[in-house]
Amino acid sequence: MLLPYKPRDCIIHCIGASSTDNFPEETIDNTLQPVDHASYWSSGGHEDPDAPESLTYRLSSDLCMIHEVRVQPFQAFFQTGNPIYASKAVRIRMGHSKLPPGEESFVTDENENRKAIADENYVWTYTSPEFPMLPENVLQTFKLPRPVLCIGGVVKIELLGRIQKQASDHKYYICVCHTLGNQETLAADQSPS
């Protein structure tokens, strides 16, 4: 007997972030950990509130059927007013690397693999619509219009626009504490018949 579809997280590695404020304390690797209010990724600061950021990940397989991505913006409880560093919107891209096998590395140094995440190194076969992100400290679900087969095992989460300035330098930041890429898998009923 088959049970209903059950979502399962399929993001397994971080490829890189478009920027990072303080490495390694605020690295993209922190976004794969279970929600922890002390662990997060932070973009570099920017004076332009429309400046985008991106987080690029390797999926568990070169073939994944993705139906939603979840992102939780970070709330800085250690700053006055407990600001939430959400983006204005989220867009999801899926595709594959053009780099030869073995040359796609994962985050290892202070530059957070910015060369490896350059768009010219990828073929993006799917781009989602833009989804508004709420300035709330919750894991937010961005459900795709229909499930998408990601061939190549790479997902890029684009964080579009900034809403929160940091009081210490008056620059806009985006911070994320957790991400999930959900694929649906069939679960077999293991109960005895």
Query: Phi, psi (5° rounding) for residue 151?
Result: -100, 110
pLDDT score recorded for residue 190: 35
pLDDT score recorded for residue 113: 59
> What is the per-residue burial (b if ≥16 Cβ within 10 Å, else e) of 137-170?
beebebebeebbebebbbbbbbbbbbbbbbeeee
Give pTM, 2 decimals.
0.87
Paired tokens of 104: 């796609």
The domains of the chain are located at 6-185
Sequence-distant (6+) residues with CB within 8 A of 104 are: 15, 58, 97, 116, 121
Q: Which CATH class is domain 6-185?
A: mainly beta
pLDDT score recorded for residue 34: 72
Sequence-distant (6+) residues with CB within 8 A of 70 are: 139, 140, 141, 142, 178, 179, 180, 181, 182
Q: How do the pLDDT tens digits run along the chain, 193 residues long?
A: 444 444 567 888 888 999 999 988 999 999 997 766 678 999 999 999 999 999 999 999 999 999 999 999 999 999 999 999 999 999 999 999 998 766 666 665 555 656 678 889 999 999 999 999 999 999 999 999 999 999 999 999 999 999 999 999 999 999 999 998 877 543 333 333 3
